[in-house]
Chains A and B, each alone.
Chain A
Amino acid sequence: MAYLELQELRRAFGPVVALDGINVSMNKGEFLSLLGPSGCGKTTALRLVAGFDRPDSGSIAIDGKDITHLSPSRRDMGMVFQAYSLFPNLTAEQNVEFGLRIRKHKRGARRKRVSELLELVGLGHAGKRYPHQLSGGMQQRVALARALAIEPRVLLLDEPLSALDAKVRVQLREEIRRIQTQLGITTLYVTHDQEEALSVSDQVAVMWSGRIEQKGTPSEMYGAPATPFVAEFIGTMNRLEAVVVDGDRGEVEHGGTRLTVDTARGRSRGERVLVLVRPELLELEPSTNAGGDNSLAGEVITHTFLGSVTRVKIVGSEAELTADVPTARVGSLPVGLKVNALVPVAGTRLLSLTEEPSSDGPDPGDR
C-alpha cells in the first residue's frame, strides 16, 4: 500500500483550475519530484499536502489515514520553502529547536538533536548566527535541518534552491539527496528545473495545466516520454510531424522525405504521427549531391558551445533540427554548410498526433 496517496485532488481559484483531479502514490522512503512549468499546479499540490490550502474535492492520505482536513500544525510535515523562511529573531540553533520546543521535548534531548542536525547539514559551526548573518545556501540548509528536526512523516520541498546561485544549487541538491537517502525520509519535491528533478529523484511526475502528464523514473521520463509535452519539457527534442506510409516496413513521410523508424512498425497507413529524436541521436554529415539514406537535408545556422558537445542548429525545408556534436568535430561543420541529418532507425520515439493531450481528455496521470 502506498505511504502517501493523493486521490483525484481538485482545486480551482475562481475560473482557474489549478489542479484537475491528480492522483499520486508514493512509497515510504521514496523521493518524488513534481516537475512542470510555472502555473502548472505543482506548488498548489504541495500546499494541499502541507495543509495550507484545502482541496475542492479529492483526498490525501498518509499511511492509510485520511488527513485531507487536518490542520497543518497536526500533519507532521517538514517543509522547506522557496523564500527564505527562517525566523529572523532566532539563531540557527533556535530555529532548528523551534519544532522540538513546540513538541515539549526535554532540553537535553533538544540540544542533542539540534547539534546532530546542524552537523548533518554541515553547519555545526554556525548555530549561534542569526539568519541575516548566513548566506542564502546556509539559510536553506538550516531550514532543511529545522524541517527534519521534528522527524516529519513526509518532507516537502517547494523549489528550495531556486533563489540560490548555480554552483550552490548543484551542491545543495546533492546534499538533500544524500540526507534523504541517509534518513530514508519520504520526500515530495517541487521544481521547475528538469535537471534538478532528474538528478535527485526516484520518481518524477511531470505536470501541465493542473494534470499529471506522466510519472516514472528519471530515465523513463527522458528516454520514453509519453506525450509531446513531456518530450518537449524534458531535455531538448526534435519533433518531426509525419504520416505513416508503410507500417510493415516502419516508413513515414516527413516533408516529402521517407524515413524508416522502428517505432512506426505496426502503425496503420495514413496515421499522423510525431517522430521524436533527441539531439544526441542525430548525426550530421556534410551534404553530398545524392543525399543520405534516412536523412534530412539542411543548412547549419548556429553553434552553441556546451562544453564537451556543441549544439548545432540546422534549418531544413520543413523544420529546424538540433544536433549535439562532439566539440572536437564541430570544426568540420561550419555555419552555412549544407548537411544531412541522419535519423536513427532505432531509438526514436513515435507519438500518434491523436494522443496530444487536451483539457477534457482522460487523466494522463493514469497512463
Chain B
Amino acid sequence: MRRRFSVTAWIWLLVAAAYFLIPLIATLLFSIKDDQTGKCCSLGAYGFVLHDHQFWTSIRVSFVLALETIVISLLLFVPTIYWVHLKIPRLRPVLGFLALIPFVVPPIVLVVGLLNLYKGAPGWFYAQPYGFLVAAYVILAFPYMFFALDAGFRSIDLHTLTEASQSLGANWRTTLGRVILPNIRVAALGGSFLTLAIVMGEFTIASLSAFNTFPTYIQLINESKAYEAAALSLMSFGITWAAMLALLFVGRGRPGRAVQVAATR
C-alpha cells in the first residue's frame, strides 16, 4: 500500500526546504551578477576566484592541514579508544568528558593558551601551519573523532573479534589493522569527514596565529569583493557536500556488516 503524505507534512517539508534553499539561491543569484553593471548574468566572480593563485594556495594549505589532522587523530585515537574499550572500560566516561572540553573552551582561549604553551617550540613547528595549527586542530577535532569512533567500537563485539583474531595467531597490530579497523571503517570515515569540515572552516585559530588558510582567504575576499565572496561561499559549500557524498559512497562500499552479537559475555 502506498503511504500518503498529509497536507501538513507537505507544508512543513516546503518550509524546511525554503529555509535551506532560499539563502543558497539568493547567494547564487548574487554571485552571478556582473561586477560592472550589477546585472545578471556573468560567471566573472567564479572566474576571478578560480584564477586567483591565493585561492589555490589557501585551499591546498587547508586540505593538507585537514589530512594531517585526520591522520594524526586516527593514529592517536583509534588505538587509544580501542584499548580503553577492551581493557579499561571504566575510563570511557573520562575520555568522553575530556572530549567535551573543546566544546566548552572558546577557540580564542585555546589559541592564546597554545601560543603560550608552544612559545619555546622549534620554528619548524611553531612558525608553520603544518605544525602549530595541526596541534590545535587535533584538539578541536577530538570530540568529533572520539564520539564517531566510540559509536563505531560500541557497534561491534570488540572482545570476541579480538579474541578470535588472537586465537588464530594474530598479534595486536594485525588484529587492529585487519580485523578491527575494517569493521569501524564507517565510523572512522565519519570522524574523518567531520574533521575535514572543521579544518576547512576554522577561522579563529588560523587568523589569530597569523596563518593563511582557506577560511582566512574567504574573509579577505569578503572584505573587498562582494560577488566573489558569494561565489566563494557557494564553492566552499560545494566542497563540504562533495566530502559528505564521498563519505556516503565509500561507506557503502563493501558488503560486510557490523557483527551480530548473539550473546553477552
Contacts and interface: CB of A to CB of B under 8 A. Distances in A.
Interface of A: 50-52, 71-79, 81-90, 98-99, 102-103, 130-133, 136, 143, 146-147, 150, 156, 159, 162-163
A81 B169 contact: no
Nearest to A90: B256
Contact of B164 (A74, A79, A163): A79
Nearest to B181: A89
B160 A81 contact: yes
Contacts of A51: 166
Contact of A163 (B156, B169, B262): B262
B174 interface: yes
Contact of B167 (A50, A89, A159, A162): A50
Contacts of B185: 89
Interface of B: 156-157, 160-161, 163-171, 174, 178-179, 182-183, 185, 254-265
A83 B265 CA distance: 8
Q: Is the interface of B mostly helix, strand, loop or mixed?
A: loop
Contacts of B174: 102
Nearest to B171: A73
A73 B259 CA distance: 22
A78 B157 contact: no
22 contacts: A71-B166, A72-B163, A72-B167, A76-B169, A78-B167, A81-B160, A82-B265, A83-B261, A83-B263, A84-B160, A84-B262, A87-B179, A89-B179, A98-B165, A98-B168, A98-B170, A98-B178, A99-B168, A102-B169, A130-B255, A130-B257, A131-B257
B160 A103 contact: no
B164 A88 contact: no
B169 A103 contact: yes
Interface centre among B156, B178, B185 (most CB of A within 10 A): B178
Nearest to A84: B262
A350 to B, nearest CB: 40
Contact of A52 (B163, B257, B264): B163
A280 B265 CA distance: 37
Contact of A88 (B156, B178, B264): B156
A93 B129 CA distance: 47
B109 to A, nearest CB: 42
Given A73-B166, A73-B171, A83 B256 contact: no
A146 B168 contact: yes
A189 B22 CA distance: 66
B168 A88 contact: no
A71 B163 CA distance: 11
Contacts of B265: 82-83
A163 B160 CA distance: 15
A131 B262 contact: no
B262 A102 contact: no
Given A85-B160, A85-B163, A89-B182, 18 more contacts: A52-B166, A71-B166, A72-B163, A82-B262, A85-B161, A85-B259, A88-B183, A88-B257, A89-B256, A98-B170, A102-B168, A130-B255, A130-B256, A131-B259, A131-B260, A132-B260, A147-B168, A156-B167
Nearest to B262: A163
Nearest to A72: B166
A87 B164 contact: yes
Among all A-B residue pairs, the 10 with the closest Cβ atoms: A99-B168, A89-B256, A163-B262, A89-B182, A85-B164, A79-B167, A132-B257, A72-B166, A102-B169, A88-B256
A71 B263 CA distance: 25
Contacts of A99: 168-169
Nearest to B167: A79
A150 B169 contact: yes
A143 B161 CA distance: 12
Nearest to B168: A99
B157 A85 contact: yes
Interface centre among A71, A77, A84, A87 (most CB of B within 10 A): A87
A223 B165 CA distance: 41
A133 B169 CA distance: 26
A136 B261 CA distance: 11
B261 A147 contact: no
Contacts of A73: 166-171
A83 B262 contact: yes
Nearest to B170: A102
B161 A87 contact: yes
B256 A81 contact: no
Interface centre among B164, B257, B258, B264 (most CB of A within 10 A): B164
A81 B257 contact: no
Interface centre among A79, A81, A159 (most CB of B within 10 A): A81
